[in-house]
Structure 1
């Protein structure tokens, strides 16, 4: 597989706009480890190799151990994730796969119990942003370092 388009070079202004969303998320109250779990899970669902590579490394730097990383795709069956992380992962899956389920009320109830209003907006922005990054990386074939 070969890169189709170096999108950062093709339109730096558009990429700065997308990166500004990451700046908002860095200033949010969402824990860095939680953010990386969300980014990695959405990237797994989307099949974005580049983003999975980046966010696995970022997750390790945020203190997430290899066991939790390995079990992330099976988070429902693994007792290694907190109620807050489980709610965030459920919200991540529902928003990433929104066309499949239109975000069920049960998911809303679960995430609502774990996150305050501003955090819910930031969590939704986080999921939306990583999905946008995934789409750029997949569409233009941004590849992990060899």
Structure 2
């Protein structure tokens, strides 16, 4: 192994299958709550992509950009997501959700500001806000798992429906 290569990392699913299953159940519960609250699956993908961009998670970026495109998201919006504030491509609801996702992801930079919360609460009901917070929380946890274990991007393919 040269100095540019990482040592093999722990296989979490194999070593701690019960925790991995619990994480999967948390993800499924968050997706279910979002569906019940009528939060669009496409919006959830935008949140997942944006948090993964901030965290630098190549595996999750590969997965969620593919999932977003499979759900009908445009290349233009996916490519512009890193600069969503400077584009006209996102709706008021999407902008509020993205601001919340960024604040949750960067909570170490001053918590979730009241202005961000007021903005999201102005365009989403309480169940939807809860679903957005869960979506951001779950993807941040998955980002940390993928980064810590050096999950390799490139092989993921969206499930065809």
The interval holding the TM-score normalised by the smaller chain is: over 0.9
| Corresponding residue for residue 15 of structure 1 | 20
Q: Quote the RMSD (CA, aligned, Å).
A: 1.2
Aligned counterparts, 1:40-119, within 5 A? 40-119=49-128
| Corresponding residue for residue 24 of structure 1 | 29
Taking CA–CA contacts closer than 8 Å with sequence separation of 6 or more, which of the two structures ends up with the larger relative contact order? 1
Structure 1 unmatched runs, 5+: none
What is the rounded CA distance, in whole Å, between the counterparts of 1:44 and 1:51 in structure 2?
9
- Deviation at residue 145 of structure 1 after TM alignment: 3.0
What is the rounded CA distance, in whole Å, between the counterparts of 1:34 and 1:70 in structure 2?
15
Report the structure number with the largest CA radius of gyration: 2
Is 35-44 or 18-27 further displaced after alignment? 18-27
- Deviation at residue 143 of structure 1 after TM alignment: 1.2
| Corresponding residue for residue 136 of structure 1 | 145
Count of residues in Structure 1 that have an aligned counterpart in Structure 2: 146
4+ aligned runs moved over 6 Å, structure 1: none
- Deviation at residue 10 of structure 1 after TM alignment: 1.5
Contact 2:42-2:68 within 8 A present in 1 as well:
yes
